A and B are shown apart, each in its own frame.
Chain A
Amino acid sequence: MAFQMKRFNMAIVALFFLALLIPQSLFADEFPSKPVTIIVPSRAGGGHDLTFRAVTSVAADYLGQPMVVKLMPGGRGAIGSDYVAKAKPDGYTLLGGGLGWSSATPAIEGRSKGPDDLVSICRINYNSIMIVARGDAPFKNFKELMAWIKANPGELIIGTGSRYIQDDFFWRKMMNEKGISVKIVPYQGGGAQFTAVLGGHSDVGGALVAMYLPFKPTGKLIPMLWLDKERHPLIPDVPTSFEEEEGVDFVSRMWRGVLAPKGTPRPIVDKLGVVFKKITDDTSFKRMMKRYGDSIDYLGPDEFAKVWRAEYEDFKAFAKTLKK
């Protein structure tokens, strides 16, 4: 009896050491065993918040565990990004990555975290932005706007939501390449900037298609330009930046992706990549994205890593032209 007991104990000890020997990757089969948190480092009600609320609303069906959004705004995305970069690389803490805090800010200002500190899981969607003018502006389309800028150098007031991204980047490129002179006023986010055009405090500003549409019948805003390669189906009359001769060829893609701390095991990255692919194929998720006016454009871990890296290097090159 005592002998049997001893054997039993030894078996347990042996099993315990065996468990230690199993490579960590095998545990990916058991991932996730608890809820996954997505840190969204921006304000409530912003595009990232909305996207990840839609993601988490269907995520449990494909992940087998709930996925929760945790907002951690501040420092233009740096606080949340740094938090995730320092988190345990076990797949349970992910970052809602974005053009600003994951590419532009680290490349240009050296703050927040870019592709050197985080790994790519996937891109979920992107949206471009349109240039709009206040309803009583003295120009009615982009050609007239450019003529007005040239006739009145340094007079046009352009409101933008944040430095270096989306329409702000477009206008800075225009100033660099076309030699125009305008006044760029940064606001505290897309919503505040949009309010300033509506109130006539900016002559020109940026708008998401879904933000612009309710104001179309009111005449309070004049659509000018769509910053993408193809025209948008909901605003078919608005020309793209590629069509207009006076503009620079420019795509403003505010992407929303999922990033993870560096060192996250490859099997977990792959597993999450597949889960997010299934989420982006979900009909209820697709319906929500359509209502937001966003395009779903999934890119897997490796494809997106390339796109992200290229964009980051672009911003780095742009930063060098700024310092001259």
Chain B
Amino acid sequence: MDALVSLGHGFLVAITPVNILYGFLGAVLGTAIGVLPGLGPPATIAILLPITYKIPAVSAIIMLAGIYYGAMWGGSTTSILLNIPGEPASVVTCLDGYKMARQGRAGPALGIAAMGSFFGAIVSLMGLVLIAPILADFALKFGPPEYFSLVLLGLMMAIYLTEESVIKGLIMGVLGLILGSIGIDPAYGAERFTFNLVRLSGGLDFVVVGMGLFGISEVLINLEAPEVREVYKTSLKKLLPTREDWRHAWASVVRGSVLGSLIGVLPGGGAVISSFASYAVEKRVSKHPERFGSGIIEGVAGPETANNAAATSSFIPLLTLGIPGNLSIAMIFVAFMIHGIRPGPLLLQQHPDLFWGVIASMFIGNVILLALNLPLVGFWARLLKVPYKYLVVVIVVVCVMGAYSVNYAAFDVGAMLFFGIFGYFIRKGGFPAAPLILAMILGPILERSLQQSLMMSGGDPGIFFRRGISITLLSVGGLLVLKPIMLWLWKKRRGNV
């Protein structure tokens, strides 16, 4: 109850006209950069940071936080409309979201993404208000062995990202692992697959690879067969999800909220992993898993809810432990420090106004975002009425600008085009692109945590089986692998009887 009283006090801080203005500014800006691929929230916050030196700490943090969670709202837009993942957490949204758009259901896809985002953020915020210390302790329990087991389980999700052949999915997964190992190895500093190019020693950016594999390859495929665009001429009247859509999606939204809130507190890629995990869970529990990837609403609702819930809960380690879990949160950490405030266990005692003010502003900001995004759905959906021969120019320009803005390097534009052509050929062969991206993101974490775990144990792999969380995660993974074999054995025995 204390927490709710304090939150009430926080609303008094957040509801001042100046702070509402800053929150609004952040949310609008966040949506805009979320829609544009490439220039992500960390870069935007970095650019705006100097402006916040002169304004009060509360207002500064409210605005910068708004940019971060606002971007999670906008991220789904290009995934759904153009098959370009605006940021890594929206890669899975391409799978069903874009298919929905091609069936003339861009409106419901965008609508469910917005409403799911809102629901996920609110659930996660309630967690932040009521059980932040518990969630922070949960995050601390994850050492290298726990990360290894979690990521190993995560890699198995590659199977759920495939539409037809599991073997082809696994091949792409392995390719992703190899691409993810480009650069300097985390333990000994050896260079791998860099061909003496300094540019490659930092590894390939998966935003660049993603835009190529999804966006550019889509353009190439469509140029080959322009007649398939007919589907866009279907009615756009139904802009928002129908009652029927909600009947399918509500459970996905609830599951996505919980999953996102939990995984989001883990430092390092929480939002990305949560969106993939949510998709895998939805496909797993679904009565019709074979329809995933064909444009069904659960495939959009789950991941889009989860990534917003995760973005919100990633504030927990920052506010309670002073640990920034990802790049955007690290930039917000810098803003705290510039204002002479060190986030951490003493933040709540020393700066209650700031702590609760920022949390309250996130409630307000999400309401603003919902009010802002729902009317935009119609506008975005109408964009698809533009003839494809014009749209294709926009897509290519957006992709090129996006790739360039990641590191301001022409190299990345070349890499994106390369992966675009590569993507064209793998799609011709029926190979799915999503497992490659997933493995590319998870590979480095897997490798690093494996090395760290084995260094901790002196080379004994038993470390993964002696720790509670780790063994639980491994058991779940083991059961998933063994289930088909057991089912097969069981059927065979019944057949013999």
Task: Kindly state whether residue A146 has any CB partner on chain B within 8 Å.
Answer: no
Task: Quote the shortest CB–CB distance from B321 to chain A (angstroms).
Answer: 7
Tell me the residues in window 337-351 of chain B with beta carbons closer than 8 Å to chain A beta carbons.
337-338, 340, 342, 344-347
Task: Kindly state whether residue A23 has any CB partner on chain B within 8 Å.
Answer: no
Chain B residues with Cβ under 8 A from A217's Cβ?
Answer: 346
Chain A residues with Cβ under 8 A from B448's Cβ?
Answer: 188
Which of B53, B267, B347, B455 contacts A183 (CB under 8 A)? B455
Task: Kindly state whether residue A187 has any CB partner on chain B within 8 Å.
Answer: yes
Q: Is the CB of B201 within 8 A of A79?
A: yes
The CA of A78 and the CA of B196, in the complex, are separated in Å by 12
Task: Quote the shortest CB–CB distance from A163 to chain B (angstroms).
Answer: 6
Q: Is the CB of B327 within 8 A of A57?
A: no
When A45-B333, A49-B334, A291-B337 are in contact, do A201 and B458 touch as well, CB less than 8 Å? Answer: no
Tell me the residues in window 168-199 of chain A with beta carbons closer than 8 Å to chain B beta carbons.
183-188, 191-192, 194-196, 198-199
Tell me the residues in window 16-72 of chain B with beta carbons closer than 8 Å to chain A beta carbons.
42, 46, 49-50, 53
Q: Closest B-chain residue to A185, C-beta based?
A: B455
Chain A residues with Cβ under 8 A from B140's Cβ?
Answer: 195, 198-200
Which of B49, B268, B317, B407 contacts A53 (CB under 8 A)? B49
Task: Kindly state whether residue A54 has any CB partner on chain B within 8 Å.
Answer: yes
Tell me the residues in window 64-83 of chain A with beta carbons closer than 8 Å to chain B beta carbons.
68-69, 71-76, 78-79, 82
Task: Kindly state whether residue B199 has any CB partner on chain A within 8 Å.
Answer: yes
The CA of A199 and the CA of B321, in the complex, are separated in Å by 11
Chain B residues with Cβ under 8 A from A78's Cβ?
Answer: 184, 198, 201
Task: Kindly state whether residue A318 has any CB partner on chain B within 8 Å.
Answer: no
Task: Kindly state whether residue A125 has any CB partner on chain B within 8 Å.
Answer: no
Task: Kindly state whether residue B324 has any CB partner on chain A within 8 Å.
Answer: yes
When A71-B46, A191-B323 are in contact, do A199 and B143 touch as well, CB less than 8 Å? Answer: yes
When A75-B198, A188-B448 are in contact, do A50 and B186 touch as well, CB less than 8 Å? Answer: no
Q: Is the CB of A43 within 8 A of B330?
A: yes
Which of B46, B184, B323 contacts A44 (CB under 8 A)? B46
The CA of A292 and the CA of B339, in the complex, are separated in Å by 11
The CA of A85 and the CA of B183, in the complex, are separated in Å by 20
Task: Kindly state whether residue A149 has any CB partner on chain B within 8 Å.
Answer: no
Chain A residues with Cβ under 8 A from B337's Cβ?
Answer: 45, 50, 53, 291-292
Task: Kindly state whether residue B209 has any CB partner on chain A within 8 Å.
Answer: no
Q: Is the CB of A185 within 8 A of B345?
A: no
Q: Closest B-chain residue to A164, C-beta based?
A: B189
The CA of A46 and the CA of B321, in the complex, are separated in Å by 16
When A45-B324, A186-B187 are in contact, do A75 and B334 touch as well, CB less than 8 Å? Answer: no
Task: Kindly state whether residue B414 has any CB partner on chain A within 8 Å.
Answer: no
Q: Is the CB of A109 within 8 A of B456?
A: no
Task: Kindly state whether residue A211 has any CB partner on chain B within 8 Å.
Answer: yes
The CA of A253 and the CA of B52, in the complex, are separated in Å by 31
Task: Kindly state whether residue A264 has any CB partner on chain B within 8 Å.
Answer: no
Count of CB-CB pairs between chains A and B under 8 Å = 120
Task: Quote the shortest CB–CB distance from A71 to chain B (angstroms).
Answer: 6
The CA of A287 and the CA of B333, in the complex, are separated in Å by 18
Q: Is the CB of B186 within 8 A of A186?
A: yes
Task: Kindly state whether residue A233 has any CB partner on chain B within 8 Å.
Answer: no
Task: Kindly state whether residue A28 has any CB partner on chain B within 8 Å.
Answer: no
Q: Closest A-chain residue to B337, C-beta based?
A: A50
Chain B residues with Cβ under 8 A from A210's Cβ?
Answer: 342
Q: Closest A-chain residue to B324, C-beta based?
A: A45
Tell me the residues in window 219-235 of chain A with beta carbons closer than 8 Å to chain B beta carbons.
none
Task: Kindly state whether residue B215 has any CB partner on chain A within 8 Å.
Answer: no
Task: Kindly state whether residue B461 has any CB partner on chain A within 8 Å.
Answer: no
Chain A residues with Cβ under 8 A from B184's Cβ?
Answer: 75-76, 78
Q: Is the CB of B199 within 8 A of A45?
A: no
Q: Is the CB of B345 within 8 A of A215?
A: yes
Interface of A is mostly: helix
Chain A residues with Cβ under 8 A from B199's Cβ?
Answer: 79
Q: Closest B-chain residue to A201, C-beta based?
A: B143
Task: Kindly state whether residue B377 has any CB partner on chain A within 8 Å.
Answer: no
Chain B residues with Cβ under 8 A from A154's Cβ?
Answer: 458
Q: Range of interface residues on chain A?
A: 35 or more
Chain B residues with Cβ under 8 A from A75's Cβ?
Answer: 183-184, 198, 201-202
Q: Is the CB of B53 within 8 A of A199?
A: no
Task: Quote the shortest CB–CB distance from A131 to chain B (angstroms).
Answer: 18
When A56-B50, A214-B346 are in contact, do A195 and B198 touch as well, CB less than 8 Å? Answer: no
Chain A residues with Cβ under 8 A from B50's Cβ?
Answer: 53, 56-57, 68
Q: Is the CB of B333 within 8 A of A211?
A: no
Q: Is the CB of B53 within 8 A of A74?
A: no
Q: Is the CB of B338 within 8 A of A201?
A: no
Which of A54, A76, A201 contacts B456 (CB under 8 A)? A201
Task: Kindly state whether residue B144 has any CB partner on chain A within 8 Å.
Answer: yes
Q: Closest B-chain residue to A66, C-beta based?
A: B50
When A201-B143, A215-B345, A288-B338 are in contact, do A44 and B327 touch as well, CB less than 8 Å? Answer: yes
Task: Kindly state whether residue B322 has any CB partner on chain A within 8 Å.
Answer: yes
The CA of A44 and the CA of B189, in the complex, are separated in Å by 21
Q: Is the CB of A79 within 8 A of B322?
A: no
Task: Kindly state whether residue A218 has any CB partner on chain B within 8 Å.
Answer: yes
Q: Closest A-chain residue to B327, C-beta based?
A: A44
Q: Is the CB of B143 within 8 A of A43?
A: no
Task: Quote the shortest CB–CB distance from A58 to chain B (angstroms).
Answer: 9
Supplied contacts A78-B201, A79-B201, 7 more A-B pairs, CB within 8 Å: A45-B333, A50-B334, A75-B184, A111-B201, A186-B186, A195-B267, A199-B140
Residues of A within 8 A of B (CB): 43-46, 49-50, 53-54, 56-57, 68-69, 71-76, 78-79, 82, 105, 109, 111, 154, 157, 163, 183-188, 191-192, 194-196, 198-202, 210-211, 213-215, 217-218, 287-288, 291-292
Residues of B within 8 A of A (CB): 42, 46, 49-50, 53, 140-144, 183-184, 186-187, 189, 191, 198-199, 201-203, 267-268, 317, 321-324, 327, 330-331, 333-334, 337-338, 340, 342, 344-347, 407, 448, 452, 455-456, 458
A-B contact list, 11 entries, CB within 8 Å: A43-B330, A44-B334, A53-B338, A56-B50, A72-B407, A76-B189, A78-B198, A185-B455, A186-B187, A201-B144, A291-B337
In the complex, the 10 A-B pairs of residues with the closest C-beta atoms, listed nearest first: A74-B202, A201-B143, A45-B330, A75-B201, A199-B140, A214-B344, A44-B330, A214-B346, A45-B333, A291-B340
